[in-house]
Amino acid sequence: MEPAPITTYEWVELSKIVNGLFAMVALVVFMSTNLIVGHILIPSLVSSNHLPGFTQKFRLIFYILAVAAFSGAVLMFFQVLGAADVISRIYDTYWIDGGTDAIGDYAADHH
């Protein structure tokens, strides 16, 4: 399987894929950080009296940020999935196609 020559269009689409994957990772880290703060740290610090009780109200903000980050990660996933069709312009198949054909060609050459 030999790849086709990559034009400027394919490079732009590949950069969208890579940037989207990095953005997805960043959004997932941001989401998990907000969940940890809102669901674990704030209640724990309030119950141990390290934070005053009114800080419990801030938990909702962290939950909203986590849901927004998750929504952004899902949106980014579908954008990356949409841009991934450029791979078929570079490679003729998504899967390595060397199983039986490669063995058959090798056996035919060595008999």
The full 3-state SS of 7-31, as one line of letters, equals CHHHHHHHHHHHHHHHHHHHHHHHH
Do the domain assignments include residue 24? yes
Q: How many domains does the chain have?
A: 1
Do the domain assignments include residue 1? no
Do the domain assignments include residue 92? yes
- How large is the average pLDDT for residues 91-97? 68
pTM assigned to the model = 0.75
Could you list the residue range(s) of the whole structural domain that residue 96 is in?
Answer: 8-109
What would the pLDDT profile of 36-71 be if each residue is shown by its tens digit? 999 999 999 999 999 999 999 999 999 999 999 999
